[in-house]
Structure 1
Amino acid sequence: MTATTDFHPLAAPDASRIIRDHLWMHFTPHTGLTGADVPVIVRGDGAYVWDSHGKRYLDGLAGLFAVQVGHGREELAEAAARQTRQLAYFPIWGYAHPTAIELAERLANAAPGDLNRVFFTVSGGESVETAWKLARQYFKLVGKPTKHKVISRSMAYHGTSLGALSITGIPGAKADFEPLVPSTQRVPHTNFYRATEHADDYEAYGRWAADRIEEAIEFEGADTVAAVFLEPVQNTGGCFVPPPGYFQRVREICDRHDVLLVSDEVICAFGRLGHDFGAKRFGYQPDILTTAKGLTSGYAPLGAVLVSDRLMEPFQHGATFMHGSTYGGHPVSCAVALANLDLIERDGIYEHVLANESAFRSTLEKLSDLPIVGDVRGTGYFYAVELVKDRDTKERFTDEEANRILKGYVSKAMFEAGLHCRADDRAEPVIQLAPPLICDQTQFDEMEQILRHALTGAWAQL
């Protein structure tokens, strides 16, 4: 890592005025917000970032589940610069350029099974939107025009555009934008810690959860359902890992009813679970796989939809997929992605995650001695700590208590202590940790110590 030590010139008192008057931040309440309330992050190096005052933070969320190889990688900056000098931009609307060609082949060769077709996007939400549109048009082309509905899991996040938001299973994220795109249904997720069925048998619980998908397909009518969208490990709610056999059962159900299985790997691909694709980690074959984030380690915006050959087949006989975007497959982003994949391979990032995931888990599990910690779950470099009011009974906090603990205390305490991660109350209150994949025991211990201090203080507030 050779990141510069210079701070950005806007990291000055005037920045707070500009933030207050002009910058509309994403997913951020602005009521009563002054620019001085907003940390200004000005540089990064390895697993750490610095604000405009020179304070260092451990990036326990890899930016936003994206910065796989860490901050400040000169190789990625150089790849972007080289490509910008050669060809800064050209679309792939009836044309091609070398970096898109090379990256498409590389992804196809790595993808499981016959996912040999690559459609480039700009973001994860756009990848999900693309997958749904593709599924709908595919079934029209093969003479099944009524198959257009989607099934996804409760509390699952799949994006913010109207189609992707419709697939999303978080009611609070949707209410302000209704009516949304119709034809989406929800099924249970796989939070075994909160299981009400087969709570003593993890594998049986997985079968039960998968069978709810078949139940939903049959209720809607298999002739109306186009696809099931599932993350390998569900993010929202706190890292719900699939029980053994869950995805194999889902695959059988989808095959039986001619429904496409979409593996939404915007977070889970490119090493987050220790493999290039989460579907490989859990041994199932999707028909479509959506990606973004870690594809470039967040250094440039890029997503990709990997598609089975059989879904491409009807498009080779006169039909056109009337979909795309100006920057999908951007030459600079593709160049960064190629350099990022080179770095991942050269540095043995996947092997590093697999070798250290148990240490990461065991370090976080030390927090289980705190009365506020109910569950520690996850896999790879993707973990959640669920907070409870009573560890023995798994009693939940009230909404007011959860808000007071997470937003009123824990988030602030962690950030003041130098840890950037997520305190999420969209379902049960959880702390999510997904650091850069270069982290080791030093960073694991640092996360645990900061969390221990913050959670101990939170419990004292009750």
Structure 2
Amino acid sequence: MSSEHLFHKWGAGVAPDLPRIERAYDEFLLTDDGEELLDAAAGAAVANLGHSVPDVADVVAEQTERVSYLSLSHFTHAPAEALAERVADLAPGDLDTVFLTGSGSEANEAAFKLAHAYHRSRGAPGKHKVVSRWQAYHGSTLGALAASGNTTRRVPFDAMLPAWPHIGPAYPYRWGYEGTPEEQARAAAGELETTIEQEGPETVAAFVAEPVGGASIPAARPHPAYYEEVRRICDEYDVLLIADEVMTGFGRTGSMFAVEHYDVVPDLLVVGKGLSAGYAPISGVVVRESVAEPFRAGGAGSFPHGHTYAGNPVAAAVAGHVVERYTPDLLATGRERGETIRAELEPLDSHPMVGEIRHTGAMIGVEFVADRETKEPFDPDLHVYERVYDAAMERGVYTYPGRGSVDGVAGDHVMLAPPLNVSEESAERIGRSVVESVEAVAEDVL
């Protein structure tokens, strides 16, 4: 077999020499030539429970025999209802209804449309813009990409994107504000108020943010005052707060949802990835009672949006099975393994190539710099993020590399986001391998 007929992101029938994975179990990926790779990224921060979880195949087989497909536009079914009830139980505050979709991008699109539909139902159809942040990623479909602040992903399709406004990222390491962490956080959040006023409050429907930085600025986490101020601003200007937890939800940051670190309840909570832990394509938007109310029976009308595979019975059954495994013990294990990896990374705390190591739960970001004192990033042409990734792969460890954290182009980093139940031994190996990889790359770039 070859990839000749497979249209990769690199082009039709064109791809790097990618490993071909034949099998996976726990935190390991087995290639067709017998190599065993340690998955320190849970795929794309998806496989929160590891690979080949027992009983999932049985759930798929049983549900497929019962009913494998239904359109939620015309029918309802037990797996979707049970999943929605369970997710609503887990979500904070009065986030208690769930609109199901298929992917993280689709879920964010649905959240944006729902925000506009909500305002329209209340007599404010002009509120349609979504404010977001630079150096954030919300998906690859056009609306989600318009809200994203990832320059390299946006530029090729810029002419097709709505001109929605962006504010600066929640990035304490590179904030230029004066004062205490709390004062800096409130000043950064103030950009949202300024932008809403400049755009015109009557035009702004929502503000979307990753509570903890994902692929663009992994594990970046502001002082809680940031989201306290954001919540105040959104309430004052009648703007819905959307928390994009596609990557951070279901235990990734140590709590069930990352917003719980701030004691703030968003109006819409976007979930994906960990919802099924990679066993089926499914995502959703968890909706606050006050936002759902206009769409209830006797309200202003329906929400004219949906997808063919939204709430697919098989995917919903699998997700329901997975979600039951997010116990307090599992979340505690994820936090412990994150601590183990962070401890192994300690030799990098003073390394000349490392600007900052960010850590929350089982999510760690290591940012690389050419100069620790000035925080100057490396020349993008050096591809430092790829070099560290390659060095780790040579040591049998698969990580999640990234670039553009500083200005959308410059800024190299690597994210570590293994399964929450990764073994202690593997956690130690992940940390050691990254240290060795950074030291090896530093010999060439410093």
Could you state the TM-score of these two structures normalised by the residue count of structure 2? 0.94
Quick one: distance in 1 between partners of 2:113 and 2:195? 21
Q: How far apart in 1 are the matches of 2:393 and 2:8?
A: 18
SS of alignment partner, residue 22 of structure 1: coil
Quick check: 1:221 aligned with 2:204?
no
TM-aligned CA deviation for residue 440 of structure 1: 4.2
Say whether residues 1:416 and 2:394 are aligned partners. yes
Partner of 1:120: 100
Query: Tell me, what secondary structure is at the counterpart of 2:324?
Result: helix
Contact residue 44 and residue 400 of structure 2 kept, 8 A: no
Aligned to 1:435: 418
Residue of structure 1 in register with 2:366 after alignment: 385
From 139, 158, 165, the counterpart of 1:159:
139
**1:404-424 per-position Cα deviation (integer Å, ceiling 9, x unaligned):** x333x3222211211111221
Aligned counterpart for 1:81 among listed residues 61, 75, 85: 61
One-letter amino acid of the structure 2 residue matched with residue 386 of structure 1: E
Work out whether residues 274 and 281 of structure 1, in 8 Å CA contact, stay in contact via their aligned partners in 2.
no
CA gap of 1:361–1:282, structure 2 versus 1, over 3 A, is farther
1:426 offset after TM fit, Å? 2.5
| Alpha-carbon contact 1:367-1:448 (below 8 Å) kept | no
Shift of 1:356: 4.1
Mapping of 1:51-450 within 5 angstroms?
51-198=31-178, 201-235=180-214, 236-316=216-296, 317-345=299-327, 348-401=329-382, 403=383, 405-407=384-386, 409-427=387-405, 428-450=411-433
| 1:9 aligned partner | none
State the AA in 1 paired with 2:397: L
Residues 365 and 413 in structure 2, CA contact (< 8 A), matched pair in contact too: yes
Please identify, of 186-195 and 172-181, the stretch whose mean Cα deviation from structure 2 is larger. Answer: 172-181
- Secondary structure of the equivalent of 1:157? coil
Moved over 6 A (4+): 29-32
Per the TM alignment, residue 399 of structure 1 is displaced from its structure 2 partner at its CA by 1.8
Structure 2 unmatched ranges of 5 or more: 406-410
Alignment partners' CA distance in 2, 1:32 and 1:286 = 42
- CA drift at 1:365: 3.0
Identical counterparts, % of pairs: 35
Gaps of 5+ in 1: 1-14
Shift of 1:217: 0.8
Matches of 1:226 and 1:361, distance apart in 2: 39
Q: Which residue of 2 aligns with 1:11?
A: none
Cα distance change, pair 31–242 in 1 and its aligned pair in 2 (3 A): farther
TM-score by length of 1: 0.91
Task: Tell me how far apart the structure 2 counterparts of residues 390 and 67 of structure 1 sit (CA, whole Å).
Answer: 35
What SS class does the counterpart of residue 343 from structure 1 fall into? coil
Contact 1:59 1:421 in 2 (8 A): yes
Q: CA deviation at 1:49?
A: 0.9
Checking the alignment, whether the CA contact within 8 Å between 2:344 and 2:432 is kept in structure 1 is: no
Looking at structure 1, the residues matched to 63 and 14 of structure 2 have their Cα atoms a distance apart, in angstroms, of 43
Give the length in aligned residue pairs. 437
The corresponding residue for 1:461 is 444
**2:325 alignment partner AA:** L
**What is the CA distance between 1:372 and its match in structure 2?**
1.1
